Structure 1
Amino acid sequence: MNVRAFFLFLMFPIASWAQGYAGLGGNAEGFARPESGYQFQFPKDHGPHPSYRIEWWYLTANLKDAEGNDYGVQWTLFRSALKPTESEGWQSPQIWMGHAAVTTSDTHYFAERLSRGGIGQAGVTAQPFEAWIDEWHMRGGDLTQLSLSASGSDFGYDLGLQAQGPLVFHGDRGYSVKSADGQASYYYSQPFYTVEGILHLPNQDIEVTGQGWLDREWSSQPLAEDQSGWDWFSLSFDNGDKLMAFRLRGERGDFTAATWIEADGQTTSLPDGSVLLTPLETNHVAQRDIPTRWQISLPEKGIDVVASALTPKAWMGTRFEYWEGPVTISGSHLGRGYLEMTGY
């Protein structure tokens, strides 16, 4: 850990980490809280919301090369506020954290960046849209067309993305409930990107094409105190339909929710209990047992599929550790997608 990373690490509210994964169930006193009925405003809401404690711009992509080999790409920028008041320069309470990864059938590359807010090293602007940390960037006039780049010590990528469908709002018009106690976030996605570009891997550059999915979410306390983590799926089926589904694991039981997305962008919000997410197989990864093969059942839409990890090795050994990687879909529907698992 370098000196800058060490001091940024000390600035995080360490005492709250036990309250849900990465402290996301911790006390949010003084911060704004999501409320139902919020009217999204674009392009403003593509930018940051500093009165809320946490926020992210989260892009994943399922890609193939000319020979049909599968790859996954992740690019994420997290914003975390230490307090609900804003200041300039080094006094800014905003902390930024970037994660990037490339996954192949047998290898997982990842990197992490950290920055204190207010000094220009990281941030987001809404118009024109740009999210960056150091030389990593996601930028475009708006979210319709983006360029994406990141690099680590042994990988990198430069990709172009073009939206082929509308933004999608989860839950009740973007108000996404996360627990029986009412914890919630504002949550929308752009799941209709086509992607093309270059992966820079050891000893070779690889041209790739595929599909991308961007998640935008912000809140101040998205987890209940007893919720230890989540299992989140973004699935794109070969017929053009899509499914976002998650399971939040808690001492009082699991909480689930899903959004069914038609090929034309029409959505159906599905409440707790509608989707069944069942682990079928685990692998021992990073000294813990991680479920890397899942059955996903959504009877209302005739979905009964198995999502299998491209590789079990997709462990993000970052400041807050988690598993994130591409999956292939078989069963009643075929396709590809992404799986994220935290709190294991």
Structure 2
Amino acid sequence: MRLLVFCMLATMAWASPPQWRSAAPGYVWQFPADLARHPDYKTEWWYITGHLQPQDDPEAAPLSFQLTFFRVGLTPALAPVDSSAWSPTDLVMAHAAMGDPATGKHVFSEVIHRATPFLGGFGAAGDTTLAWVRAPAGTDAAWSLRYREGTFCLTVRDDRRNLRYELQCAPTRPRLFHGEGGFSPKTQQGDAGSLYFSRTRMGTRGTVLRAGQEVPVVGSAWLDREIFTSTLADQQVGWDWFSLNLDDGTDLMLYRLRNADGQEDFALGTRRRPDGTT
């Protein structure tokens, strides 16, 4: 009987599917490799927001923009998978937006595909393309986030929503790591968290579609890079997040996780002072 139980347990152990890696303290960052896809973690994103000033109208209120690529893993990196490129291991989701205070309009678009040829995917370490996805129906183009010679290059186009921009964002400050060594806890116990850093105040230039015309712009952008596996705690249902560039040169990131009743469950922030200390 004991032999039978041992054999059953051994079989279950050997048959257990590979697990996702959990974000944990002590992660050793490597750049630019850590800009690319991390297939051993379940979820990650590249989240860019910013403000843009039309070069031909320096007195105008700044435009706002946002581009986010989300990767959701379907199969852990160590799991046996079909060698075919058409056998997806990831979902690729992207969301883009632009706001124009002169018109009061906020335009957004989103797309989701399995990561397969012709639809979307993510680059490996050393690749120029970090993430890309086929544009929404009605637009023969692709959205992309690339990293070339130290600059992030963004391309977005949705013809049906008159949303289009091509931007280049060049870091001007060192990376801002959140939490000890870039491990950002999400619970009081510290048993769940993410690998998290930002590039703040990136010098930004490019073109946007405004009132049917391509307009050259300059501005500033903030990139959040976050990698994790664990989901929210059972009592947590959502979060609020802020990234702020203050006039005195301070960079400030704040987030709070909230419960179903709207009460705060956990909050954390990072402040980088004008002298660069945090």
TM normalised by structure 2 equals 0.79
- Answer yes or no: is the 8 Å Cα contact 1:231–1:246 preserved in 2: yes
How far 1:204 sits from its partner (Å)? Answer: 2.8
Q: For residues 44-193 of structure 1, what are the structure 2 equivalents within 5 Å? A: 44-65=33-54, 66-84=58-76, 85=79, 87=81, 88-105=84-101, 106-119=104-117, 121-125=119-123, 126-130=125-129, 131-134=131-134, 135-141=142-148, 144-152=150-158, 153=160, 154-181=162-189, 182-193=191-202
Q: 1:49: how far off?
A: 0.9
**Within 1, Cα distance between the matches of 2:274 and 2:121?**
33
Q: Report the Cα distance in structure 2 between the residues aligned to 1:79 and 1:162, rounded to whole angstroms.
A: 23
* AA aligned opposite 1:146: F
CA contact (8 A) 2:201 2:245 kept: no
- Identify unmatched segments of 5+ residues in structure 2: 1-17, 135-141
Report if aligned partners of 1:227, 1:250 keep a CA contact under 8 Å in 2: yes
Aligned to 2:223: 214
- 1:1-344 superposed matches below 5 A: 30-65=19-54, 66-84=58-76, 85=79, 87=81, 88-105=84-101, 106-119=104-117, 121-125=119-123, 126-130=125-129, 131-134=131-134, 135-141=142-148, 144-152=150-158, 153=160, 154-181=162-189, 182-251=191-260, 253-267=264-278
Asked if the contact 1:90/1:116 (under 8 Å) is kept, the reply is: no
How many correspondences in the alignment? 239
Give the deviation of 1:180 after TM superposition. 2.0
Q: 1:180 to 1:209 in 2, by over 3 A?
A: same
Deviations 1:266-320 (CA, angstroms, capped at 9, x unpaired): 32xxxxxxxxxxxxxxxxxxxxxxxxxxxxxxxxxxxxxxxxxxxxxxxxxxxxx
CA contact (8 A) 1:77 1:99 kept: yes
| Partners of 1:199 and 1:208 within 8 A in 2 | yes
Give the deviation of 1:111 after TM superposition: 1.0
CA contact (8 A) 2:252 2:272 kept: yes
Q: 1:86 to 1:45 in 2, by over 3 A?
A: farther
State the percentage of identical aligned residues. Answer: 34
Deviation at 1:120, TM superposition (A): 5.3
1:46 deviation in Å? 0.9
- Aligned partners of 2:256 and 2:264 also within 8 Å: no
Name stretches of at least 5 consecutive residues in structure 1 with no aligned partner. Answer: 1-28, 268-344
Amino acid at match of 1:262: R
TM-superposed deviation, 1:231: 0.7
Task: Report the Cα offset of residue 222 of structure 1.
Answer: 4.0
Paired AA for residue 178 in structure 2: H
* CA RMSD in angstroms, aligned pairs only: 2.1
Cα gap change, 1:253/1:139 in structure 2, threshold over 3 Å: closer, same or farther? closer
Residues in 2 aligned to 1:64 and 1:165: alpha-carbon distance in whole angstroms: 21
SS in structure 1 opposite 2:239?
strand
Q: Partner letter of residue 123 of structure 1? A: G
> C-alpha offsets along residues 180-207 of structure 1, whole Å, 9 cap, x if unaligned?
2422010011113011121113423333
